[in-house]
């Protein structure tokens, strides 16, 4: 099991942000907002690169070919992890996975759900992508407490990374990675309150207790 790390989403002032982090930090370099990403990848921290398209709530509005090219450059520049969307055009997705293997870069397959998925959805996607990625990341749009609870109740797999958007999305970010690999985007001081909790056997009662503390 990979040790838990803090993650930070690096913006335009990435040098200042990185300077405040412990050496064990995991740096998330968003290629859309960090123009000097090659330099950012030279830090002593482990790094992950992503370039989220608008169709999953990201800021990138350019062509898919250009987006793939930027991801390739990030991998070649020395990223430790790269986010690859499961819904990406298959030939692009497969090309990036091959490049990751060549460059010893770990792959994070992102599964985006515009609403809370069913157990059958999760089982299907888990079966298709689990053997092909170092980590899976579920990105689910939620709009209520109940949807958060419903989603978390289904997330019992050990090497799962969770990210969240929308109402209560930050709470999902705090809980993201409590399976042993912290990958949420919430502030570290918030995550520190619940770092010792895992999602294995996670219940609605546990969720309520965490929510009260936060």
pLDDT at 105: 93
pLDDT at 39: 82
pLDDT at 148: 75
pLDDT at 6: 61
According to DSSP, the residues that pair with 110 across neighbouring strands are 85, 137
- Domains contained in the chain, CATH given: 7-213 (3.20.20.70)
Average pLDDT of each block of 10 consecutive residues along the chain (214 residues)?
A: 56 78 78 81 86 83 92 93 93 96 92 88 88 83 76 69 66 52 45 42 64 61
pLDDT at 204: 65
Please write down the HEC assignment for all residues of the chain.
CCCCCCEEEECCCHHHHHHCCCCCCEEEEECCCCCCHHHHCCCCCEEEEECCEHHHCCCECCCHHHHHHHHHHHHHCCCCEEEEECCCCHHHHHHHHHHHHHHCCEEEEEEEECCCCCHHHHHHHHHHHHHHCCEEEEEEECCCHHHHHHHHHHCCCCCEEEEEECCCHHHHHHHCCCCCCCCCCCCHHHHHHHCCCCCCCCCHHHHHHHHHHC
pLDDT at 71: 95
Q: How far is CA 196 from the centre of its chain?
A: 19
Q: How far is CA 21 from the centre of its chain?
A: 18
Query: Which is nearest to 139 in space by CA: 128, 155, 123?
Result: 155
pLDDT at 191: 42
pLDDT at 174: 57
pLDDT at 12: 75
């Amino acid at each position: 099991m990979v040790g838990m790390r803090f993650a930070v989403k690096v913006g335009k002032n990435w040098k200042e942000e990185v300077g405040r982090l412990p050496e064990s930090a995991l740096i998330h370099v968003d290629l859309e907002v960090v123009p000097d990403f090659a330099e950012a990848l030279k830090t002593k921290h482990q790094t992950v690169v992503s370039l989220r398209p608008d169709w999953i709530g990201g800021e990138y509005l350019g062509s898919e070919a250009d987006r793939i090219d930027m991801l390739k450059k990030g991998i070649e520049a020395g990223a430790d992890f790269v986010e690859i969307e499961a819904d990406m055009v298959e030939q692009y997705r497969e090309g990036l996975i091959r490049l990751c293997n060549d460059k010893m870069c770990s792959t994070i397959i992102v599964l985006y759900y515009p609403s809370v998925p069913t157990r059958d959805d999760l089982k299907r996607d888990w079966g298709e992508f689990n053997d092909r990625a170092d980590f899976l990341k579920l990105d689910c749009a939620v709009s209520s407490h109940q949807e958060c609870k419903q989603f978390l109740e289904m997330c019992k797999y050990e090497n799962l990374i969770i990210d969240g958007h929308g109402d209560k999305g930050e709470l999902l970010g705090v809980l993201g990675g409590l399976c042993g690999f912290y990958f949420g985007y919430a502030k570290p001081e918030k995550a520190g309150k619940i770092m010792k909790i895992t999602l294995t056997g996670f219940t609605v009662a546990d969720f309520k207790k965490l929510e009260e503390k936060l």
